[in-house]
Amino acid sequence: MKNILVTGGAGYIGSHVVVELIEAGYHPVILDNFSTSEKSSIDRLEHLTGQHIVYYEADYRDHKMLQQILRIERIDGIIHIAAYKAVGESVAEPLKYYQNNVAGFMTLLETAIDAGVHNIVFSSSAAVYGNPPTAQVTEDEACNPENPYGWSKFMCDVMLRDTHKANPHLKKTSLRYFNVVGSHGSYKIGESPKGAPQNLLPIIVRAVKENKPFQVFGDDYDTHDGTCLRDYIHVVDLAKAHVAALQKMEKQENGSFEIYNLGTGTPTSVLELIKAFEKVNGVKVPYEIGPRRAGDPVSYFAVPEKAIRELGWQAKHTIEDAVRSSWQWQLAQS
């Protein structure tokens, strides 16, 4: 059984990755400082999987601690998810994001190389593309981030590319997420943002729970219902892609560096997401139409063919699955 270190493994995406690793026969080891997650997620993971979860409460930027974990746990691969991810905060505090997301990742990469850990999966983001000129985004699209968060992810991709040239034996995969939604079908793990939610589905959930309307930014775009189109990928599908990337690298004899867009390839509008939430869950979503928000692309979705072809992976969950699981997860916390 191979030991896989998951940084940020107690968080929303990380916890789902841990579950999929266990189901695939791996032994995950969590490294998390719990700055944006709760220790209770470890208990939920153990209850869900029926296994003891090894975890370390530490910052992944702690070089000495990281060295010890890689040695003691005999780590075979790393899935790096830990990062700051609030776009607005990154604009207000750019150095915080560059210190954690970029300098921290450099420390992790150096430590992994020194320890002989050659398989690394990196949690990147579609934010690296910025506001692309076309709605359908492939991995060949030029990267032009519009905020420090996006730049921090792009800088890490560049580091992976350049270290591959210097260390050709390394196997590295960058997964560029589109809009992640939903929760595990058990409703034992899910998204619990600390503070005000930043993403649309958690905003909808909070609006319903508190019966307070949120603002939809514009309904006069050139789309079928006037609202922006986005690619929403279920978190369970996303988690499975991490396992698929790891398995592909393990089968390779030579080093590699690959980038994959992770999305459904099917755009969903803001109003479609709202209406699906209402229909599936039998509730009314309070919202108001406001003015457009500067910088919002009209339509923006993945072309996932490369991941389908090379990883043997494809998103299977629907928008209905996502809105149902998000609401049921919220009800389970009440």
Active centre residues (catalytic): 149
Distance CA 160, CA 232 (A): 26
Q: ∠ CA 5-63-10 to the nearest 5 degrees? A: 35
Q: Do residues 130 and 148 lie in contact, with contact meaning Cβ atoms separated by under 8 Å?
A: no
Which structure tokens are listed for 141? 């699209």
Q: Which tokens sit at 247?
A: 């398995």
Using DSSP's 3-state secondary structure scheme, residue 205 falls into: helix
**Partners of 72 in the β-ladder:** none
CA-nearest of 160, 321, 298 to 232 is 321
Nearest to 234 by CA among 181, 190, 305: 181
The residues near 234 (Cβ < 8 Å, ≥ 6 apart) are 180, 181, 182, 315, 316, 317, 318, 321, 322, 325
Count Cβ atoms below 10 Å from residue 7 Cβ, excluding itself.
28
Terminal alpha carbon distance of the chain: 37
